[in-house]
Copies of this chain bind each other. A is one copy, B any other.
Amino acid sequence: MEVRTERLRLETRGRNQIIDLSEDISAIVRKSGLSEGQATVFAIGSTAGITVIEYEPGLVETDLPALFERLAPYGADYAHHATWGDDNGAAHLRASLLGGSYVVPFQKAKLILGQWQQVVYVDFDTRPRRREIVVQLLGS
């Protein structure tokens, strides 16, 4: 049993941008030499989350952003804004609710995912950022 800790780097524009990480994570698994175990995908920072979704334009560009806009609208007033003069209170709430850590099992050096199931990074922030994501493998 071994542990490998890798990082992915992204340039994001935020505002509910949803980025498919499945191929990057799969590549890390393939190159690791590990056959069976799990990949933990972890978002560094508190204005982005990790989840799975069928990566098609309707859900990714319209439906999931609309859901989060109902839950925590970008234009609303948040106490967080008063603390820092920030404008990204909605991004913090969305990220805390969604969660930023996701564990995906692999077998025969392949992620176990459904055909229409992708692992995605959801950047909720209100400005472009450079982002780091940890992909940590535990397995043998």
Q: Which residues of A contact B (CB under 8 A)?
A: 1-3, 5, 36-38, 40, 42, 44-46, 51-54, 56-59, 61-64, 67, 70-72, 78-84, 89, 92-93, 95-105, 107, 112-114, 116-118, 134, 136, 138-140
Q: Is the CB of B96 within 8 A of A53?
A: yes
Once A97-B98, A99-B102 are accepted as A-B contacts, the answer to whether A116 and B37 lie under 8 Å apart by CB is no
- A117 neighbours in B (Cβ, 8 Å): 44-46
- A78 neighbours in B (Cβ, 8 Å): 58-59, 62-63
- A53 neighbours in B (Cβ, 8 Å): 46, 92, 95-96
Q: Which of B71, B92, B138, B140 contacts A38 (CB 8 A)?
A: B138
